[in-house]
């Protein structure tokens, strides 16, 4: 069983991930920003660790990661504005990669954005900035020496997870429950041989393990 350090553990995907990892017997170390989030994360089976990506450095974050074998980055500004998006989705991801390397951890899973998100809609400058920042984050991670996987889910929903998805290097755009994004991350934690892949993900009809098994080697 693995110790997994989750950045963005208090988010909607992050909370599902904490609970699902704990259910599978993994140790979910749950980084959260606000003190009042600790009890809820502990109730889900996580080990809460307080920290703020915008007020830390790589060495301090690496110390909090100590003992972990996998880092999952699912943090995001959540539409809170361009400045915060740049600080969390952009600079925060770069800081997390640097900290992971300082901590001697190799495995890094990033929840990114589907390339077609918002296409054909009047989403505004904030969303355009968000997509540009996400792309730069993908590029930064892919250029690192970590054993990375970039997961690009479609439109996230709060529907009940079915553990059935469509996953591929390039697939048609669609929706996916947050619970199934988390379940896919758990499957990636448990499949360390799958590395250096960008995986697009939507709801579908294949069990998650089968969908990942069919990805090109």
Torsion-angle region of 115 (φ positive above 0: left; ψ -120 to 50: alpha; else: beta): alpha
Asked if 173 is an active-site residue, the reply is no
For the stretch 144-172, what's the b/e string if a residue is b when 16 or more beta carbons lie within 10 angstroms of its beta carbon? Answer: eebbbbbbbbbebbeeebbebbbbbeebe
What is the C-alpha separation between 137 and 112, in angstroms, rounded?
8
Contacts 24+ apart (CB under 8 A), 119-128: 119/173, 125/82, 126/79, 126/81, 126/82, 126/85
Structure tokens at 191: 């499949």
Write down the catalytic residue from 5, 108, 114, 130: 130
What is the C-alpha separation between 142 and 146, in angstroms, rounded?
8
Q: Across 8-85, where does the E strand assignment appear?
A: 27-32, 47-50, 70-73
What is the C-alpha separation between 151 and 209, in angstroms, rounded?
15
Catalytic residues: 130
């Amino acid at each position: 069983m693995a110790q997994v350090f989750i950045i963005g553990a208090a988010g909607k995907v992050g909370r599902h991930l904490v609970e699902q990892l704990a259910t599978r017997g993994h140790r979910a170390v749950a980084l959260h920003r606000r003190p009042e989030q600790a009890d809820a994360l502990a109730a889900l089976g996580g080990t809460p660790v307080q920290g703020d990506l915008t007020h830390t450095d790589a060495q301090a974050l690496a110390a909090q990661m100590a003992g972990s074998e996998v880092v999952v980055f699912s943090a995001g500004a959540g539409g809170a504005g361009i400045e915060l998006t740049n600080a969390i989705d952009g600079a925060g991801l770069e800081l997390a990669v640097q900290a992971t390397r300082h901590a001697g951890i190799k495995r890094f899973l990033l929840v990114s954005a589907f390339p077609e998100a918002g296409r054909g809609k009047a989403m505004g400058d904030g969303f355009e900035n968000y997509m540009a920042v996400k792309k730069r984050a993908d590029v930064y991670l892919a250029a690192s020496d970590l054993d990375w996987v970039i997961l690009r889910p479609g439109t996230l929903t709060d529907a009940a997870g079915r553990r059935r998805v469509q996953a591929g290097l390039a697939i048609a755009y669609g929706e996916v429950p947050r619970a199934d994004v988390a379940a896919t991350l758990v499957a990636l934690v448990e499949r360390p041989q799958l590395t250096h892949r960008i995986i697009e993900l939507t709801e579908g009809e294949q069990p998650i393990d089968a969908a990942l098994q069919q990805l090109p080697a």
